[in-house]
Amino acid sequence: MHKTNSVQRRRMDFRRLFLAQGLAILVTMGIAAWWDSLEGLISALLGGLVGLLPSVYFVWCGSRRRGGKTPRAKALNFYQAAMGKFGLTVALFVVVFIAAPPSNPAFFFSAYVAVVLMHWLAPWLMSGNRPIDLR
């Protein structure tokens, strides 16, 4: 008897992680608006987006099905997504600090760090203990 038929596979669901990251951005923006008005709010928004957009890109790029279902192809997709995420993060930092420097870097980096640290909560944000199919 083969067990793979009895094991129900599912794709990873990142909606809760993105929701938590969005909530971290909103909370940081609220604190920034209360503390430093509109300038702090915009700085927090920019920092949050610099943290969130590369995460969205990573999930989008890493979850596409390219090159079949072999472990090698999956690993290659993962590494390409990780390199793209790193490159996008660097590019967003450059764009923000050259085109629209944040008026309050403390709120910018606070929002960025809050969004990035949401990944530490990912095991609790992903529901269930069922096997995960990374296809």
| Cβ-based neighbours of 135, under 8 Å, separated by 6 or more | 11, 65, 69, 74
Question: How many CB atoms are closer than 10 A to CB 72?
Answer: 9
Place of tokens 């890493």: 62
- Does 133 fall in a domain? no
- Cα Dmax for the chain: 65
- Does 97 fall in a domain? yes
pLDDT band with cut points at 50, 70 and 90 for residue 107: very high
Q: What are phi and psi of 102, to 5 degrees?
A: -65, 140
pLDDT band with cut points at 50, 70 and 90 for residue 20: confident
- Does 128 fall in a domain? no
- Does 53 fall in a domain? yes
- For 60, the domain range is 14-122
pLDDT for residue 100? 80
Give the separation between CA 10 and CA 29, rounded to whole angstroms. Answer: 35
pLDDT for residue 12? 66
**Domain count of the fold of the chain:** 1
pLDDT band with cut points at 50, 70 and 90 for residue 7: very low
Percentage of the chain modeled with pLDDT above 90: 45
